[in-house]
Amino acid sequence: MSNEKFRTEVSDVRAATLRLARRIRQQRSVKLMTDGQFAVLVALHLHGPHTLTALAERDGVTAPSMNRTVNALIEHDYVSRVTDPTDRRKVQIAISEAGSQVVTDTVERRDMWLSQVLENMTEAERSTLHEAAQIILREVHK
């Protein structure tokens, strides 16, 4: 394969995945929530309470940056600060029922949007995309 053809394929895959990700991220139950705020809710929803430091490390941001994100979520009652049950000196960030509902509703909206996109494709196209998804997942988890 020529170098130029390979670069074109790489660019096409990159552009397509970025555009798809952007369109999926637009499907939110809370329009004004940032991607960073939603990522924190998802982490808490899936993995339970975290310290501020653990959340910051998980997202690769500074503690002060995560503190701003958490404060914005607290302001809307999506999370709260709670005392660690095993070490009362520590404070953990826990998701609220409202925060869990945002995650559930957003995931449902995103799945519904993508389902509608896939419904407009042929069975062969859906099969090709499914195979591509499996390949991408295999490669990014190496």
Distance of CA 13 to the CA centre of its chain: 20
Percentages helix, strand, coil for the chain (3-state, rounded to 5) are 70, 10, 25
Average pLDDT over residues 37-56: 97
Predicted confidence band of residue 1 (pLDDT cuts 50, 70, 90): low
Which two tokens mark 69? 């994100």
| Amino acid identity at 7 | R
Output the DSSP codes for 33-78: --HHHHHHHHHHHHH--B-HHHHHHHHT--HHHHHHHHHHHHHTTS
Q: What is the CATH number that goes with domain 3-140?
A: 1.10.10.10
- The whole-model pTM stands at 0.85
63-84 pLDDT per residue, tens: 999 999 999 999 999 999 999 8
Give residue 64's pLDDT.
97
pLDDT tens readout for residues 92-104: 999 999 999 999 9
